[in-house]
Amino acid sequence: MFCKKCGEQIPDDSVFCPKCGQALNETGNQEEPATGGVQGGMQVIVFIVSIIMIIVGLFTFLDTCS
């Protein structure tokens, strides 16, 4: 992995960067995937809702025509 502060390449299990002393706690590393997961989940929900809305709208349109 690389230090988030100075960019130095450091072992994956490092707690502190040996070069600049930046704390490399797991909390910081876990935030990004968690945030991405929430956003990804929201995108899937929005996508599904959009599909449902299109289908419902299509059926409503067909009912109006017939």
Locate 65 and state its tokens.
């025509």
Length of the chain: 66
Instruction: Report the C-alpha gap between 1 and 27 in whole angstroms.
Output: 15
Number of residues that bind Zn ion (CB under 5 A): 8
Residue of 1, 2, 19, 38 interacting with Zn ion (CB under 5 A): 19
Is residue 14 part of the contact set for Zn ion (CB under 5 A)? no
Per-position b or e across 32-48, b if 16+ CB within 10 A of its CB: eeeeeeeeeeeeeeeee
Our finding on whether 3 is near Zn ion (CB under 5 A) is yes
**Piece of 3-11, 24-32, 38-46, 55-63 that binds Zn ion (CB under 5 A):** 3-11
Which residue, 6 or 45, has its beta carbon nearer to Zn ion?
Answer: 6
Q: Of residues 5, 34, 36, 46, which one binds Zn ion by CB under 5 A?
A: 5
